[in-house]
Structure 1
Amino acid sequence: MTLLSARRVTGRVWASADSYSFALRSARCYSTDPVAPSQTTFRKQPQFRDYFVTHLPSSSLHPDPRGPSSSFHKLPRSASIPHSGETSQSPTSFQALIDRETTVVRIPLRNAKHHFGAVTARGTRPSNEDTYQAGVIDIPAFAKRPPASLTIKRSKKQNITDPRESRGAETATGDPQVFYFGVFDGHGGTECSSFLRDYLHEYIQNAAFDIELQSSLRRGAKELPTTSELPVMQEGDRRRMGDLEKHLVQTWRRVVGGYFKRFQPPHFTYHGTESTVPSITDHISIEEVVEYAFLRADLDFVNAQAAKRDDDLAQAERPLNEDEIFHRPSMTRSPQIGGRARFKGGSTGSVAMISTPTPTPFWHPIAPSTLLVAHVGDTRILLCSTETGQAIPVTSNHHPSSPIEASRLRRYAATFVTDSFGEERMSGLANTRSFGDVQSKRIGVSAEPELNRIELGPAEFSFLVMVSDGISGTLLDQEIVDIVKEAKTPDQGAHDVVNFSTEVTNEGDNATCLVIRLGGWERRQEGGVGSMGTKESREWRRQDATDPRRSRT
């Protein structure tokens, strides 16, 4: 049974899959107690925000007029001296400065150019198929608990507390904010990459919402053992998670078949007819939640494309908003994933989520944090080491030339061919993992994410870079990192990377770059030789690209 003919056999699956994301957004805002079905408890629907919330003093440019009226406030600018850690004022006045009133403000992440930068360019392609997303995701914290030294306030030993300006505002649940960044490189069109930009974070939020995942920082929670092999476990509905995994795996096997008949996601506890009993009862890792969300989103997108008729020109030409009710797209009766016509392309995707154990934001030099990377395809994520200045890749390209991917797919892929550029391809695809690509699902082109958790120490890394293959296919990892080192802000760094890539490339592919500031940003030039390691080669590449005698194709 092929994927395109499965609709006639499993009509119920299609109906539930096509409206999955719409139903989650509209209907799952309550929970019913199984013991007392008549009692319904309202649950707040998770929301994604493109801004972060932080504390700022009542006047961030001038001293607080309600603070101490000491003479040091009235000194002229020419008489001011740099702060050396020693204060001439009394401890009482210094304490008043620290305790001055602050205001909780919302700062749009895309406008916070000193914290985040994002740039995308079309290149010489007819359209830009790259998309990206950045914001605060509404899920429980998944960072490790802070050590006792961070939880014991200095106020127990001294009469001084930490300034409130150096921490972000907590969420409604009391957890620090979890930041979400994503880069999606579409091929064949923007339908799949736009779907991931708009909805992938909702799949992650709704999965955590459905299983009632609890924070890893929750007070009173039992301390769980941690080893190098075992991820950080969090409390949740283990039975519900097993049911969701079982239904998802069985749907893949029944509807798609082929590779998915022996489909065993590495982080799932369900691997057969019954769920494997986890080593820790009623506890779930965030890796398992993210893997489920990736595979669920891919299944819904593929199902929606297979349910369409690509030869129905009249249906394809109808407007997308034909079914809108009261001119509200969110109330559309039949939501169309990927447009009206069948979309046969797909998209790669890399997602980075950062969680902190304390309200201090992850870009603060004293803040530890946890980075969780979920990756599919050949988009790339790099870290810059503050100590050595080296580029540290945290993702690998899912290409047929990869030994791991080749061994995974040899039994299903009929042909591995090498194109004129020397790149190995499988059924015409350069990536062995991607979202969408409905015609290649049976041979194993899946959205199983490569998951990697990294504990970021205070100021251990300078910044995080996320790029599409239009940049990573042209520049070396160290060149990308060194370009960002020379920039004054992450926003300027993203612009410089995209501009240099489009200047020296021969292909002109879509180029997208995200730069996220980390605790060691101010020391980014101190490690190793700074940005000088690749400066000479970059200058030569620029001169060669601008040489009028250079033959361009």
Structure 2
Amino acid sequence: MIPPSSKRVAVRVWTLANSYRFINPPIRYYSVGSAFEESRPLKRRQFHDYFVTHLPSSSLHPDPRGPITPFHKLPRSASVPHTGETSHSPASFQPAAQRETTVVRIPLRSAKHHFGASSARGTRPANEDTYQAGVIDIPAFAKRPPASLTIRRPGAKGSPPPPEGRGAETARGDPQVFYFGIFDGHGGAECSTFLKERLHEYIQNATAEFELESSLKKRDPNEHSHDLLPIIQGGNRERIGDLEKDLVHGWRSLVGGYFKRFMPAHFSYYGNGPKETDQSIRDTKEENSGITIEEVMEYAFLRADLDFVTAQAAKSEDDIIKADLPLNQDDVLYGPSHLGSLKIGGKKRFKGGSTGSTAMISTPTPTPFWHPAAPSSLLVSHVGDTRIILCSTATGEAIPLTSNHHPSSPIESNRLRRYAATFVTDSFGEERMSGLANTRAFGDIHSKRMGVSAEPEVRRIEMGAAEYSFLVLTTAE
């Protein structure tokens, strides 16, 4: 039982940013690595806790060619913030075109006008909740903008110089995709820490394995389906089917129970169940012959959960001799061991788990999502009772994007009633299943057979320019 005044983590992301400009931001050059090695022979994808953007050169260092009494020393009432246009500055101060802006890396967690976090552990000795924020290396999934709103590339004939807030593109030419995650651990911090350090890698690896293509790339000159939802992106459909089949088989063979008739909502592969022979399903596959970002997220969540559960099941905590062996006993030349003995967590089997929610934001142009004139696509993937809330700019209304996966939910109770022995009500009036308040979670290996899975509830929101002020991710009390 978690008392109301116990642990909590909250993350706040500014989406609109009337405070869009900031003065002398801290500039560092570094990246964050993972504490775990890959279990499959995939190239490590890039994840950075900083974003790359353009700033005026004058904000980084003074221009030696400028006037002796520069205009930036005017009184505060007469100063004007950087907007990318330099019509207010003296003509002699105009730098060369190639020096008007400089590409810099700004730590996201230090950019207080765009991101903030708060954590409280209450009366507990340590907080089991974690969070993650950064830029994820995946293809764009945003809707393509109308031609009238498409920003011309710098250097094109007649195009203006890049404005101050224009973000840099990734190596593949897509705008940066921002990733935010919050994870509510229970029974310990092993699972929530694993999700913090590894879940974004599972998402990146899934896009690489599926050969996902950018949504901004037009696949057919006559295609107009990019205006509809869900957005179909290019991918290797044959390989996707094999990967999904292998994942479903892994759940059935390792856990069984609920997963014997397991049919993920967004998968194109349904095993030997009735949906495999559904004519409408086959027609949809042949017509689209692509993939949605929702399918990628469901695969990544389930793959991460399967690896975590497999690692815990492989631990022989009752064997005193094996429990005292080094964690890398099976590794050769510092290489990762096979999946069956993947070392996640401590020496002993971790019986707890974690809920989690992620929010990814993709823009159709390099202009970052917090720019007042930038539309963007928000993808929320949710498991358990962590919460994500949007705040409307016009009305200030708090709009919940997630719902709690509890036994009291009609959808969840109908899904699990055939497997769970009983539902009990605790002293606070909340229903529980085998002592658990959440019907969906990562980990919790002793409740997997009853259907406590990491199937995410995925929701996509198309955010108009300046439509929302900020996004809040928070763990439950």
Normalising by the smaller structure, the TM-score range is 0.7 to 0.9
Structure 2 CA distance for aligned equivalents of residues 409 and 279 of structure 1: 33
Which residue is 2:379 aligned to?
Answer: 372
Distance apart, 1:359 and its partner CA = 0.4
Structure 2 CA distance for aligned equivalents of residues 405 and 256 of structure 1: 19
Aligned equivalent of 1:302, options 296, 304, 309: 309
Pairing 1:97-112 to 2, within 5 Å after superposition:
100-112=99-111
Residue 296 of structure 1 aligns to which amino acid in structure 2?
R
Which residue is 1:115 aligned to?
Answer: 114
Structure 1 CA distance for aligned equivalents of residues 218 and 435 of structure 2: 52
Aligned equivalent of 2:42, options 4, 9, 28: 28
Which residue is 2:50 aligned to?
Answer: 51
Confirm or deny: 8 A CA contact 2:352 2:445 kept in the other structure: yes
Structure 2 CA distance for aligned equivalents of residues 120 and 411 of structure 1: 38
Confirm or deny: 8 A CA contact 1:315 1:340 kept in the other structure: no
Partner of 2:132, secondary structure, is strand
Which residue is 2:75 aligned to?
Answer: 77
Confirm or deny: 8 A CA contact 1:64 1:100 kept in the other structure: no
Pairing 1:94-243 to 2, within 5 Å after superposition:
100-151=99-150, 153=152, 161-218=160-217, 222=221, 223-226=223-226, 230-243=229-242
> For residues 147 and 70 of structure 1, do their structure 2 counterparts lie closer, same or farther at Cα, with a shift above 3 Å needed?
farther
Residue 22 of structure 1 aligns to which amino acid in structure 2?
E
Structure 2 CA distance for aligned equivalents of residues 345 and 131 of structure 1: 15
Distance apart, 1:52 and its partner CA = 1.1
Partner of 1:374, secondary structure, is strand
Distance apart, 1:321 and its partner CA = 5.8
Distance apart, 1:135 and its partner CA = 0.9
Structure 1 CA distance for aligned equivalents of residues 69 and 336 of structure 2: 62
Confirm or deny: 8 A CA contact 1:98 1:163 kept in the other structure: no
Partner of 2:192, secondary structure, is helix
> For residues 240 and 71 of structure 1, do their structure 2 counterparts lie closer, same or farther at Cα, with a shift above 3 Å needed?
same
Confirm or deny: 8 A CA contact 2:442 2:453 kept in the other structure: yes
Which residue is 2:7 aligned to?
Answer: none
Confirm or deny: 8 A CA contact 2:385 2:476 kept in the other structure: yes
Structure 2 CA distance for aligned equivalents of residues 87 and 298 of structure 1: 52
> For residues 106 and 227 of structure 1, do their structure 2 counterparts lie closer, same or farther at Cα, with a shift above 3 Å needed?
closer
Bigger CA drift: 213-222 or 352-361? 213-222
Partner of 1:23, secondary structure, is coil
Q: Percent identity?
A: 67
Structure 1 unaligned regions, length at least 5 = 1-19, 30-44, 471-553
Aligned equivalent of 2:400, options 393, 399, 410: 393
Structure 1 CA distance for aligned equivalents of residues 288 and 343 of structure 2: 39
Larger relative contact order (C-alpha < 8 A, sep ≥ 6)?
2
Q: Are 2:352 and 1:345 equivalent residues in the alignment?
A: yes
> For residues 78 and 357 of structure 1, do their structure 2 counterparts lie closer, same or farther at Cα, with a shift above 3 Å needed?
closer
Which residue is 1:444 aligned to?
Answer: 451
> For residues 271 and 89 of structure 1, do their structure 2 counterparts lie closer, same or farther at Cα, with a shift above 3 Å needed?
closer
Distance apart, 1:246 and its partner CA = 1.1
Structure 1 CA distance for aligned equivalents of residues 76 and 322 of structure 2: 72
Aligned length: 430
Structure 2 unaligned regions, length at least 5 = 1-35
Distance apart, 1:412 and its partner CA = 1.1
Which residue is 1:285 aligned to?
Answer: 292
Distance apart, 1:21 and its partner CA = 6.7
Confirm or deny: 8 A CA contact 1:308 1:340 kept in the other structure: yes
TM superposition score normalised by structure 2: 0.81
Distance apart, 1:117 and its partner CA = 1.1
> For residues 83 and 261 of structure 1, do their structure 2 counterparts lie closer, same or farther at Cα, with a shift above 3 Å needed?
closer
> Aligned Cα RMSD in Å?
3.2
Distance apart, 1:79 and its partner CA = 7.9
Aligned equivalent of 1:468, options 455, 462, 475: 475
Distance apart, 1:159 and its partner CA = 5.7
Residue 259 of structure 2 aligns to which amino acid in structure 1?
F
Structure 2 CA distance for aligned equivalents of residues 82 and 159 of structure 1: 26
Distance apart, 1:164 and its partner CA = 3.4
Structure 1 CA distance for aligned equivalents of residues 79 and 191 of structure 2: 55
> For residues 220 and 95 of structure 1, do their structure 2 counterparts lie closer, same or farther at Cα, with a shift above 3 Å needed?
farther
Distance apart, 1:217 and its partner CA = 1.0
Spell out, residue by residue over 1:18-53, the C-alpha distance to the aligned partner (whole angstroms, 9 max, x if none). xx97233xx224xxxxxxxxxxxxxxx422111111
Which residue is 1:362 aligned to?
Answer: 369
Structure 2 CA distance for aligned equivalents of residues 105 and 206 of structure 1: 27
Bigger CA drift: 385-394 or 127-136? 127-136
More helix by share: 1
Residue 28 of structure 1 aligns to which amino acid in structure 2?
L
Distance apart, 1:121 and its partner CA = 2.2
Distance apart, 1:245 and its partner CA = 0.8
> For residues 270 and 59 of structure 1, do their structure 2 counterparts lie closer, same or farther at Cα, with a shift above 3 Å needed?
same
Residue 142 of structure 1 aligns to which amino acid in structure 2?
F
Confirm or deny: 8 A CA contact 2:251 2:306 kept in the other structure: yes
Confirm or deny: 8 A CA contact 1:98 1:161 kept in the other structure: no
Structure 1 CA distance for aligned equivalents of residues 395 and 169 of structure 2: 34
Partner of 1:198, secondary structure, is helix
Distance apart, 1:462 and its partner CA = 0.3
Q: Are 2:418 and 1:411 equivalent residues in the alignment?
A: yes
> For residues 140 and 469 of structure 1, do their structure 2 counterparts lie closer, same or farther at Cα, with a shift above 3 Å needed?
same
Q: Are 2:435 and 1:428 equivalent residues in the alignment?
A: yes
Distance apart, 1:64 and its partner CA = 4.0
Residue 286 of structure 1 aligns to which amino acid in structure 2?
I
Distance apart, 1:331 and its partner CA = 5.6
Distance apart, 1:262 and its partner CA = 1.5
Distance apart, 1:314 and its partner CA = 3.6
TM superposition score normalised by structure 1: 0.71
Structure 2 CA distance for aligned equivalents of residues 352 and 80 of structure 1: 40
Structure 2 CA distance for aligned equivalents of residues 127 and 295 of structure 1: 28
Residue 80 of structure 1 aligns to which amino acid in structure 2?
A
Distance apart, 1:255 and its partner CA = 2.3
Which residue is 1:537 aligned to?
Answer: none
Structure 2 CA distance for aligned equivalents of residues 447 and 75 of structure 1: 56
> For residues 221 and 311 of structure 1, do their structure 2 counterparts lie closer, same or farther at Cα, with a shift above 3 Å needed?
same
Confirm or deny: 8 A CA contact 2:65 2:93 kept in the other structure: no
Residue 432 of structure 1 aligns to which amino acid in structure 2?
T
Spell out, residue by residue over 1:144-188, the C-alpha distance to the aligned partner (whole angstroms, 9 max, x if none). 011111226599999661543221111100111111111111111
Partner of 2:287, secondary structure, is coil
Distance apart, 1:316 and its partner CA = 2.8
Spell out, residue by residue over 1:423-482, the C-alpha distance to the aligned partner (whole angstroms, 9 max, x if none). 110011000000011111111101000000001111100000000012xxxxxxxxxxxx
Spell out, residue by residue over 1:523-552, the C-alpha distance to the aligned partner (whole angstroms, 9 max, x if none). xxxxxxxxxxxxxxxxxxxxxxxxxxxxxx
Q: Are 2:239 and 1:256 equivalent residues in the alignment?
A: no
Residue 288 of structure 1 aligns to which amino acid in structure 2?
E
Structure 2 CA distance for aligned equivalents of residues 90 and 385 of structure 1: 36
Distance apart, 1:313 and its partner CA = 3.1
